[in-house]
């Protein structure tokens, strides 16, 4: 078994320790918004909380603006945005929020992802109200000042907004990124070696292919340069390219290629009738009569009967704990 990721046969091994996620505190029900209220998100508090440890942050309260406090708005144009008071435009908290984000980056090294409050002038990741001048000429082209600073300071960190958890596909995508990043954090904590880096890539190969065949080949070529290049430089380039690849949702044709490849790999391992059933399920996905989740269930049943399942197949099937995967995916339809 590779020494890197905790690739599990979920029928025999327990779920790994909880990962840590940063989160806008108001989403957990903390009354820290400008008006003293909250924006509790039930999936985060009632479902996901059983699987992760949260690090709640409210940047506006964190910089000492108080609760309740005067509301703020984004003013300016993309690239030149200020966070100003709604009632008092002379109140500019831009530098304080940016400084707080930089400070948080030095203390958030243990988190594996971040969930931001949508539409917030401090935490929104995009399409936040942006005024050309205070209160006038609004366009949804802004990014929250705190979130923007944090994302640029920690470019590898998987990030999303709370509404992603209202869609099974989107929350599955985010969790896939967060758990992959957590496995990388565990690898680097133990010390990167050539063998561990190669094992990490091998166990993630089907997951990478499902997002981009081109990226998979580029990553393989990068690792092929290991004998000539410093390990530290290669590993940094590797994880940067990998996380950028995983940011892009997988598409049907990409998943189809991976499913067909796995089916071919299992041809000698499965009885002919079971292999034929798996191929029919994959073909149904290609034709649009099966959704991806149903195909993965069939594939998982076949893999679990294999006494020595390929670990890359296992990770493609379960990029994060199966118990959470069942909850997160729900009744997935389409791709």
Question: 190-232, pLDDT tens digit by residue?
Answer: 999 999 999 999 999 999 999 999 999 999 999 998 888 899 9
Encoding tokens for residue 89? 């435009």
Q: Tell me what pLDDT residue 286 has.
A: 82
C-alpha torsion 298→301→302→305, nearest 10: -170
Residue 334 confidence (pLDDT) above 50: no
Q: Which range has the worst mean pLDDT, 34-48, 52-66, 85-99, 275-289?
A: 275-289
Looking at the chain, the whole-number percentage of residues with pLDDT higher than 70 is 91
Share of the chain above pLDDT 90, in %: 65
The b-or-e profile of 220-248 (16+ CB within 10 A means b, else e) is eebbeeeeeeeeeebbebbbebbbebbee
Are 266 and 160 members of one domain?
Answer: no
Phi, psi of 257 (to 5 degrees): -60, -40
Mean local confidence (pLDDT), 279-305: 82
pLDDT interval class at 331 (50, 70, 90) = very low
Together in a domain, 48 and 154? yes
In a domain, 174, yes or no: no
Q: CB-side exposure of 65: number of CA atoms within 13 Å? A: 27
Q: What is the pLDDT of residues 313-323, one digit of tens each?
A: 778 888 998 88
Residue that is last in its domain, among 165, 193, 214: 165
Q: What is the pLDDT of residue 263?
A: 86
* 290 domain-assigned: yes
- Domain presence at residue 127: yes
The pair of structure tokens assigned to 121 is: 């002038």
How many CB atoms neighbour CB 322 within 10 A? 15
Closest to 27 (Cα-Cα) out of 5, 58, 1, 61 = 58
- Does residue 193 lie in a domain region? no
Residues 160 and 265 in one domain: no
User: Do 161 and 24 fall within a single domain?
Assistant: yes
Least confidently predicted of 2-16, 164-178, 209-223, 298-312: 2-16
Supply the pLDDT for residue 253.
87
Mean pLDDT, the chain, rounded, equals 89
**29 and 157: one domain?**
yes
Q: Quote the pLDDT of residue 118.
A: 98
Position 9 confidence tier, pLDDT thresholds 50, 70, 90: very low
Kindly state whether residues 274 and 138 are assigned to the same domain.
Answer: no
Specify if 220 maps to a domain.
Answer: no
The residue among 31, 23, 272, 1 whose CA lies nearest residue 123 is: 23
Boundary residue ending a domain (146, 165, 184) = 165
Give me the sign of the Cα torsion angle 172, 177, 206, 269: negative
| Number of domains comprising the chain | 2
Range of the domain at 114: 19-165
pLDDT tens for residues 146-202?
999 999 999 999 999 999 999 998 999 999 999 999 999 999 999 999 999 999 999
In the prediction, which pLDDT does 248 show? 93
What is the distance in angstroms between the CA of the first residue and the CA of the last residue of the chain?
A: 31
25/159 same-domain check: yes
Q: Is 202 within a domain?
A: no
> Both 52 and 147 in a single domain?
yes
Averaged pLDDT for residues 329-334: 47
Looking at per-residue pLDDT, the higher value among 145 and 227 belongs to 145
Q: Is residue 231 part of a domain?
A: no
Q: CA-CA distance, 272 to 278, in Å (whole number)?
A: 10
139, 165, 191 - which closes a domain = 165
Task: Find the range with the poorest average confidence among 97-101, 255-259, 305-309.
Answer: 305-309
Q: In the prediction, which pLDDT does 2 show?
A: 34
Residue 198 resides in a domain: no
């Amino acid at each position: 078994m590779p020494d890197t990721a905790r690739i599990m046969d979920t029928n025999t091994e327990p779920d790994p320790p909880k990962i840590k996620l940063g989160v806008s505190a108001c989403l957990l029900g903390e009354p820290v918004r400008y008006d003293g209220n909250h924006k509790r998100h039930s999936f985060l508090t009632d479902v996901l909380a059983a699987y992760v440890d949260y690090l709640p942050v409210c940047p506006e309260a964190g910089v000492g603006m108080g609760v309740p406090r005067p509301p703020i708005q984004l003013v300016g144009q993309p690239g030149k945005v200020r966070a100003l008071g709604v009632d008092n435009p002379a109140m500019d908290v831009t530098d304080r929020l940016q400084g707080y984000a930089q400070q948080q980056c030095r203390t958030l090294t243990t988190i594996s992802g971040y969930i931001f409050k949508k539409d917030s002038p401090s935490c929104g990741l995009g399409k936040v109200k942006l005024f050309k001048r205070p209160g006038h000429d609004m366009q949804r082209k802004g990014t929250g000042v705190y979130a923007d600073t944090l994302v640029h300071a920690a470019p590898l960190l998987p990030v999303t907004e709370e509404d992603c958890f209202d869609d099974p596909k989107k929350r599955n995508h985010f969790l896939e990124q967060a758990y992959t990043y957590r496995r990388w954090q565990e690898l680097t904590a133990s010390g990167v070696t050539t063998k561990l880096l190669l094992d990490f890539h091998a166990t993630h190969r089907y997951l990478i292919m499902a997002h981009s065949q081109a990226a998979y080949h580029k990553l393989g070529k990068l690792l092929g340069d290991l004998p000539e290049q410093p390990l530290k430089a290669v590993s940094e380039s590797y994880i940067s390219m990998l996380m950028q690849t995983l940011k892009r949702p997988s598409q049907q044709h990409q998943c189809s290629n991976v499913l067909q490849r796995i089916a071919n790999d299992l041809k000698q391992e499965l009885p002919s009738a079971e292999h034929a059933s798996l191929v029919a399920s994959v073909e149904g996905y290609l034709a649009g009569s099966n959704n991806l989740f149903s195909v993965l269930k069939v594939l998982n049943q076949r893999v679990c009967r294999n006494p020595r399942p390929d670990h890359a197949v296992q990770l493609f099937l379960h990029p994060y704990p199966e118990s959470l995967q069942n909850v997160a995916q729900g009744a997935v339809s389409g791709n």
